[in-house]
Chains A and B, each alone.
Chain A
Amino acid sequence: MLSIQNLHASIEDKEILRGLTLDVKAGEVHAIMGPNGSGKSTLSYVLAGKDDYEVTAGSASLDGQDLFALEPDERAAAGLFLAFQYPLEIPGVATMTFLKTALNAQRRARGEAELPTPAFIKLVREKADGLGISTDMLKRGLNVGFSGGEKKRNEVLQMALLEPKLCVLDETDSGLDIDALKVVAEGVNALRAQDRSFVVITHYQRLLDHIRPDVVHVMSKGRIVRTGGPELAHELEARGYADYISDEAA
């Protein structure tokens, strides 16, 4: 599904990713944990194609397609979805309008017919209900006046609608209380499928109690430094990241 080889990336000439290699097979959930500043968010932005970052070496492909040859919208159409750590507010763009524009843009890019409005509305209602997103929220400006939890649920709603192959969740747990975390996690779990993979980036283990990973990676100083099973997350929770920071510094 996702294959990243020896990825190097910088921002303003400062190298953040330094030889990152990662393979995610179809249907798997991989967690990437690591201390602040290890490059976790950079990885998600580089994959999604934010142009502040420069890829200086290495490759990333999604089902064999070279991600770095694609614009951000083309990556989305190819099946990549990034759930933002801080979803942006766009006043004046109704959430419903945004969802419809996004879904139809992707359908067009894949050569599929646009979804007629009644069918679209039915689909959104269905998915929104499960996430506790009200009709009123859908009418409001995108993320405007949404609480932190509502913004994250709205990200999951987009994910559910767009049905990506690979979902990258960037610190989705940040700013969420335990109830909000459960709703978001349930939404994500409902999307788990044989042909869909997840990369869950998080600083804390608690999200992984709700979204159970198959593989856990520890990231430090721009590369994966250790890989293990779910038990690795618990070990990190107990011992912290100090080992990885000092190991690297040594």
Chain B
Amino acid sequence: MNAEVRPIRTAAETGLIDAFERARSAQAGGEAARAIREEAFSGVVARGLPNRRVEEWKYTDLRALMREAQPIAEGATEADVSAARSLLPLQEVDALRLVFVNGAFAELLSAIDAPQGVTITPFAHALQSDARAALTLAGAPQGDAAVALNTAFVTSGVTITVAAGTKVARPIHIANVQTGPGHAAYGRVLVTIGEGAEATLIESFSGDSGGHQVNSTVGLTLGDDSKATLIKLQDEGFGTLHLATLAATLGARAELKTVALTAGAAASRQQIYLGFKGAKATADLTGAGFAGARRHLDTTLVVEHDAVGCTSRETFKTALDGEARSVFQGKIVVRPGAQKTDGKMMAKALLLSEGAEADAKPELEIFADDVVCGHGATVGALDDELLFYLMSRGLPKVEAEALLVQAFVGEVLESIEIEPLREALVARSERWLVARD
């Protein structure tokens, strides 16, 4: 007997505990992996799913959003793979392609003729060879619920290594497709870009309207003088809960650019943890998001300047209709000694309806004295004067609004250099502007 107050477990929490019990014996990686997973999961159990009383999850109450824990996906049947074919986006983009259907690698849909200097191996290999490295998402808070759940459950994914000096011309597209009855899928992608190497990665998430729970983690390590572009399309079905974490560390003079288009899922949260570890590196993090109905869209990022003379830019734009809600939490941290840091963060939300809501929480934590840092956040409606100008030229209101919203997010998508990819994402945003869903 004890008098400790224990929170009542939600159905989702109970479901997760059952799922972990069932999964643990079959998971690859041996004792070392088991211990790490155990530790990660016990933290989640002890704290429960994060809710509005947990600062980092204040605006995205995972306990409320996750009513139950879906069963872990058990691979993809032939029928699933066949269904996935029509749900697979960006097929017009010439790329090396790794397709995961319900979390399982689908060779039939993939094209993995890796060029010289690029090594692509299943995540399971990484688990076998060095479980600690594979299960530690370097740079991310290990205790964060999304990260910890991924660590506890993840078995599928891929490790990509680009050798020093290798410039990969074709992008590498990692596609995640969910189909069939509602399930949970956990994936991890670990990417190492060697010194002076260059690569472009595309991540896509899509699926049917089943109530899937997708939890993805990406670990990205950029060596000195390397360059990486990461473009993500999140176009999940509208029943899906999408949690994603990107942890990136940058070496000296490395350059990282990320572009995200968020158009799907009932609720989504993209976490980015970026750390500058070498001098004079630059990161340009951008995102465009659309949500209508009662959908929820969260972007949470922490950019940590821990080296001299690094530059970071964060630009996130969201258009909301219906009773949709967006959350932006962005923090720039400048560690002591990270002099000559140049950081600028901007979050803009456009409300197209009375019922839409945007919450922005930009923060700066600066412990060095010779830095230039700034942040801004705006939330507003479309400019009536501009709307009238366009309408006076014959554009019906809906078209005028669409043109203005396109202009608003244009800055983000226009920066994508691969033309068919840019066109696909612009086309996706145009579809949203018609449907406003």
Contact = CB atoms under 8 A, between A and B. Distances in A.
Interface of A: 48-51, 71-73, 75-77, 81-82, 84, 87-88, 90-93, 97-98, 101-103, 105-106, 109, 141, 158, 162
B300 to A, nearest CB: 26
A158 B394 CA distance: 11
Contact of B391 (A73, A81, A91): A73
A158 B393 contact: yes
Interface in B250-277: none
Given A72-B388, A87-B389, A88-B389, A109 B407 contact: no
Contacts of A91: 407
- Among B392, B397, B407, chain A packs the most CB atoms within 10 A around the CB of B392
B396 interface: yes
Interface in B202-251: none
A104 to B, nearest CB: 9
B389 A84 contact: yes
Interface in B115-149: none
Contacts of A49: 388, 391-392
Chain B: interface size category: 20 to 34
Contact of B403 (A73, A101, A162): A101
A72 B395 CA distance: 9
Contacts of A90: 386, 389-390, 403-404, 407
A73 B397 contact: yes
B406 interface: yes
Contacts of B397: 71, 73
Of all A-B residue pairs in the complex, the 5 with the closest CB atoms, nearest first, are A92-B407, A76-B394, A106-B394, A72-B391, A102-B393
Classify the secondary structure of B's interface with A: helix
Contacts of B389: 84, 87-88, 90
Contacts of B396: 71, 73, 105, 109
Nearest to B408: A92
B359 interface: no
A76 B410 contact: no
Interface of B: 384-386, 388-397, 399-400, 403-404, 406-408, 410-411
Nearest to B411: A92
B394 A73 contact: yes
A71 B391 contact: yes
Given A92-B408, A93-B407, A101-B403, A82 B392 contact: yes
Contacts of B391: 49, 71-73, 76
A97 to B, nearest CB: 8
A140 to B, nearest CB: 13
| Most B Cβ at <10 Å: residue of A82, A91, A102 | A102
A105 B410 contact: no
A50 B391 CA distance: 10
A135 B389 CA distance: 22
A81 B393 CA distance: 7
A49 B390 CA distance: 12
